Amino acid sequence: MQSSGSNWDLIVSVTLENVGKLAFGSLIQPLNKSYIPNFANVWKVFQNPFYDVNAQFTAPYTVYTTGITWRNDVVTEDIPAMDNPYDILWDPKYAGQVHLLNGSRDTLAAALLRMGADVNTSDPNVLDQAKQMLLDGVETMNWKFDHTDYSELGTFDIHQAWSGQVAYYQYYLPKGLPITAFSYVWPPKAAGKKPGIITNDVFAIPKGAKNPVLAHAMIDYLLDPSNSAVNYAYEGYQPPLTSITPESILADELVPKNLSNILITEEDFPLGVQELELAPAVNQLYQQIYQDVTGGA
């Protein structure tokens, strides 16, 4: 956006860690809520979110958790009953069969959450421990790093996954593999109640967008429950609208019943942790650690 200017009228799926930078750098413009009457449909927690007071610059697009998905026909452990579900990502019994998400924040989060540390820590000692834990894991587990797990169903037994990705699985199943073979857990709702990431992506309009009114109209369109439901069927990531509830999603068969625990309510937010904006030097450190761990893979 800095180098190529406002070639777009609307940015979709901005993550929270970038909202502050975009606003501070005057790369996005305030929203005119009079053009977005459907903003009233979003969850209360997003009417005045902590990352964007009074939702001046952003509107919520999707919500999702980061948990663990696995093949329940292959994995014998009861992962939700484990004291620390993240241990399964390091279980040598499944070496070569475990995938982690490929992003500096999510990959490091796997180790930080396993340690019980803050996913937004800037403590170099903690980050060093997380790095070492990941390097040890790379050695023993030979993790594959990706987030297109839906296109690789059948090639992994366990995957650190976003809840929205898991919603796609039913459309990409290899022949002979039923959707009931997959399970998902978000650790805050497992027996050990370990912390887990919950977050949302947002819409924003670039400063200097050539069609800002149309951009507002598009946001309003997608915050309409009927349009949002159609988009959800394609997107897989749950929209945070009051009328789209887990019950309505299951009734419409958008998500298989055995994976109903990927669905989120407003009350889940206090249970989880969110990936926040990091100071630039810390952000760079996270990215350097990620590169050292993955080798760029």
Partner 1 sequence: MPEGAGSGSRGAWFPSWFWPSFAAPATIWLLLLFVLPFFVILAIAFGRVDPIFLTPSPVYNPLRWDAGPFRDVLSQIFTSGSVYQSDFLHTLAFVFAATALCLVIGYPVAYFIARHAGRFRTLFLVAFIAPFWISYMMRMLAWINLLQPNGYVNRILSGLGLANTQAPIQWLNGKPLTVILGLTYGYVPYMILPLFGVLDRIPSSTLEAARDLGAGQVTTFLRVTLPLSGQGILAGIVIVSLPMFGDYFTQTLLAGTRNTAMIGNLIVSSIQSSLVQTGASLVLILLVLLILPMLYYLRATSKATELVAR
Residues 74 to 113 in contact with partner 1, rule: CB under 8 A: 96-97, 102, 104
**Which amino acid belongs to residue 276?**
L
Q: Residue 288, interface with partner 1 (CB under 8 A)?
A: yes
Q: Residue 154, interface with partner 1 (CB under 8 A)?
A: yes
Q: CA–CA separation, 279 vs 277, rounded Å?
A: 7
Q: How many residues bind partner 1, per CB under 8 A?
A: 36
Contact yes or no for 147/129 (Cβ under 8 A) = no
Name the DSSP class of 210. Answer: S
Q: Residue 123, interface with partner 1 (CB under 8 A)?
A: no
Name the residue among 256, 221, 168 with its Cα closest to residue 61.
Answer: 221
Q: Residue 7, interface with partner 1 (CB under 8 A)?
A: no
What x-and-dash track marks residues 14-53 binding partner 1 by CB under 8 A? -------x--xx----------------------------
Q: 163-185: buried (b, 16+ CB within 10 Å) or exposed (e) per residue?
A: bbbbbbbbeeeeeeeebebbbbb
Query: For partner 1, which stretch binds (CB under 8 A), given 48-56, 162-170, 202-210, 289-297?
Result: 289-297
Q: Residue 165, interface with partner 1 (CB under 8 A)?
A: no
Q: Residue 297, interface with partner 1 (CB under 8 A)?
A: yes
Query: For partner 1, which stretch binds (CB under 8 A), given 125-133, 141-149, 198-206, 234-242?
Result: 141-149
Residues 168 to 187 in contact with partner 1, rule: CB under 8 A: 174-176
Three-state SS for 20?
A: helix
Instruction: Closer to partner 1 by CB, 37 or 96: give it.
Output: 96
Q: Residue 143, interface with partner 1 (CB under 8 A)?
A: yes
15 sits in the region (left: phi over 0; alpha: psi -120 to 50; else beta) called: beta
Contacts of 84 (CB under 8 A, 6+ apart): 114, 192, 194
Name the DSSP class of 187. Answer: G
Contact footprint for partner 1 (CB under 8 A): 2-3, 21, 24-25, 96-97, 102, 104, 138, 142-146, 151-152, 154-156, 174-176, 280, 283-284, 287-288, 290-297
